[in-house]
Amino acid sequence: MLVVFGFAQGGTHTVAVWAPTAQTMELLHYTTPHGGEPTIMPMARNALGAGVWSVDLPKGASWWTYYKFRLKVWCPWTLRYEISEVTDPYARGLSANGERVWVVPTDLEHESLVPQGWHEHPIPSFKQWTDISLYELHIRDFSIADESVPSHLRGKYLAFDPERVKQGNGGKESNGLAHLAKLREAGLNHIHLLPLYDFGSVPEREEEQLKVEEDLSQYPPDSDKQQAAVLAVADQDGFNWGYDPVHWGVPDGSYASDPDGAARIRECREMIMSLHKQGWCVVLDVVYNHVYAAGPNDRNSVLDKLVPGYYQRRDEDGTLCQSTCCNNVATEHYMAERLSVEDLVHWAKHYKVDGFRFDIMGHMLLRTLNKMRAALDGLTVKKDGVDGKRIYIYGEAWNFGEVVDNQRGINCSQLNLTDTGLGGFNDRLRDGALGGGPFSPPDLQGFVTGLSLAPNGSTGQGDAAAQAQELLVLSDWVRYALAGNLSRYKMETANGKVLAGGEAQAMGVPLAYGGQPSEHVAFIGCHDNLTMFDFITEKAAPNLSAEFRVRMQIMCLSLITLSQGVPFVHAGDDILRSKSLDRDSYNSEELIQKHVTFANTGPNQVPGVIMMLLSSGDQGTEAYDPQFEHILVVFNASPEPKELQYPTPLKRLSLHPVQQDAALEDDEMWLKGCAAHDEGAQLEVPPRTTAVFVTTR
């Protein structure tokens, strides 16, 4: 890490790194990002603390220069002393491909790094975490094929900047930015960006990236030539999700106009500022559970070169744990935990990030996430330029691998998140709606995809009676999710018993496990596995029309957006033009139990139909809705239209204005079949349709 004594240009710059088992340590100091011979500077041990090596750079001449370390250290995996060259895990600037660390002010306060208006630009605000709605997006995917974006901006940070786009596009807005504006108008408010820190799987210089040169349109749609051509360059092209971190604290250079020097820092900040100005908050996808490489020889190995065997988690026999797909990080160790906490604060404070999504969060200890939460809560606008308490944390709270069932300490798995305020993805909604799971036979059906009512012929789903019973069970999975995945929410279940969510079971564990709605991230599709449409294609009956497949996808989206909690939409799944109908932002278990109820439950329910009623509280109470007295949502997943009656007649019930407008705009819109008769006593809902009825005050 860089320690600066005196911020002025003539101040002393000290480079320090923790490597307690190293025998020798040298700093290789360069004046250029690539090439040239280094000045070799021996580093002193323990001058700044136990196990810390440090050296002072030349006074007044070291800003904007580059360095890396060379050390000799015993490696227990090769059983010999290794001499390795390695970069700095605390780097805040890099040369292309992370070859060298760039000497840059650690607070990034220099005019070359700060976009104009950075410190003054407004950041969108919201009252509470349940006001958040998430849209998952990949930086390169957003613009790489958008011909309305100037070619030099495609796939880059600056494609999110309307002014930059218009300057190179004759004053016209790009298609992608116009689409984001419509999504923002529809109610989405947080863009979740897939990892943008320095990752190792993409060459950062465009000239080093391989491309498919042949015209793939010459092949028929069922040919395997297209996939073969793409796979041939897959390891060296310009695309990867980014879940292979090398340096956590530096934006990746492949998205910058120049991967050397200031551009990656300044342009990443400019992207975030531009999104803020467009009304979006920005969520950063972080991966502290693993790193791309380990060992003494890999160019992308950093942590394991510095302190072999400390940062990387191992099994009892010494085998490197790779249950996350890469080299797992032992964040339960003090310095690994400290590094991750300080890095999170760095992104919040210096890049004004509004939220963090944790990859495989269940592989980290709850203790570590609590420290992160506390560190963020300590950030204030007056002191740090940001309000850390408004920053939302959520992630994948899966329970597996070497940490399963708290084997390395209490981890951030689903059943440990109750009342922590940490959000977790709810796979019960996904699996209840689609059927099966990501690793189940692909043709298993669920509530939306036709289980029992429109079977696909799969022999693995049992006979008609078994499918009918399973549909009722999966309908309960969906209902508990709609009610916020709360462990204390009570409802009549398929077996006729009234059970709290924590008493009902799913695959041997509590069906609902949350303590607060903000802990519930409602999702059905994300970047992992197949897209929502592909899942539907695999699971729906083969003879189902394209129209009804679209209806299934729209129903999946409606389940997400109408659930209590935090809705999560994967870019590309947003094909329905609609407003956000989830006005509810309750922050109590108790309020949801009182104001959210379900009809058509229990063993005698109409199969394939969920009826959810949201009732307003009295005026002056937290649950008061000034526009609607009641909102009745009917999810008809069956292949037939349904005539329904809510048990307690709701007078003046009519179709929600948004759906009325949609039906008027399109004569073929199936919403024309939605109706409420006899002042709401009788409801008509077309097949595979989500209908929202309201009682207007």
Residues serving a catalytic function are 359, 396
- Residue among 625, 597, 623 nearest 611 (CA): 597
Going by the DSSP 8-state scheme, the letter that residue 449 receives in this structure is T
> Are 585 and 131 spatial neighbours (Cβ–Cβ below 8 Å)?
yes
Do the beta carbons of residue 484 and residue 592 sit within 8 Å?
yes
Query: In the beta sheet, which residues pair with residue 499?
Result: 491
Q: Are 115 and 273 in contact (CB under 8 A)?
A: yes
From the CA atom positions of the chain, what is the Rg in Å? Answer: 27
In sequence order, what are the residues at sequence separation of 6 or more whose Cβ sits closer than 8 angstroms to the Cβ of residue 137?
A: 191, 192, 193, 194, 571
172 burial type by CB count under 10 A (0-12 exposed, 13-18 middle, 19+ buried)? exposed
- Which of 99, 105, 34, 28 lies closest to 64, judged by CA? 105
In whole angstroms, give the CA distance from residue 696 to residue 214: 59
C-alpha count within 13 angstroms, C-beta hemisphere, residue 548: 20
Nearest Cα neighbor of 418 from 287, 283, 510 is 510
- Residue 329 contacts residue 290 (beta carbons within 8 Å): yes
Give the sheet arrangement for strand 12-18, strand by strand: 2-5, 12-18, 52-56, 44-45
Q: Nearest Cα to 333, choosing from 354, 312, 349?
A: 312
Distance between CA 305 and CA 49 in Å, rounded?
A: 20
- From residue 351, give the alpha-carbon distance in Å to each of 200, 365, 385, 386: 21, 25, 10, 10
How does 208-221 read in b/e, with b if 16+ C-beta sit within 10 Å? eeeeeeeeeeeeee
Q: What is the torsional sign of CA 428, 429, 433, 434?
A: negative
Q: In degrees rounded to 5, what are phi and psi of residue 189?
A: -140, -10
Give Cα 473 to chain centroid, integer Å: 28
Count of C-beta atoms within a 10 Å radius of residue 593 = 18
Within 168-237, residue ranges assigned H as helices are: 175-186, 225-232
Structure tokens at 140: 């390169």
Instruction: Find all residues with CB under 8 Å of 2, minimum gap 6, and list them.
Output: 13, 14, 15, 16, 90, 92, 103, 104, 106
- Would you state the torsion angle of the CA atoms of residues 394, 125, 242, 323, taken in this order, to the nearest 10 degrees? -10
Query: Could you tell me the two tokens for 349?
Result: 């404070």
Q: What number of other Cβ atoms are within 10 A of residue 95's Cβ?
A: 21
Rounded CA-CA distance 554/344 in Å is 36
Cα–Cα distances (Å) from 350 to 124, 255, 267, 539, in that order, read 17, 19, 13, 45
Residue 39: strand pairing partners: 29
Torsion of CA 240, 245, 249, 253, to 10 degrees: -40
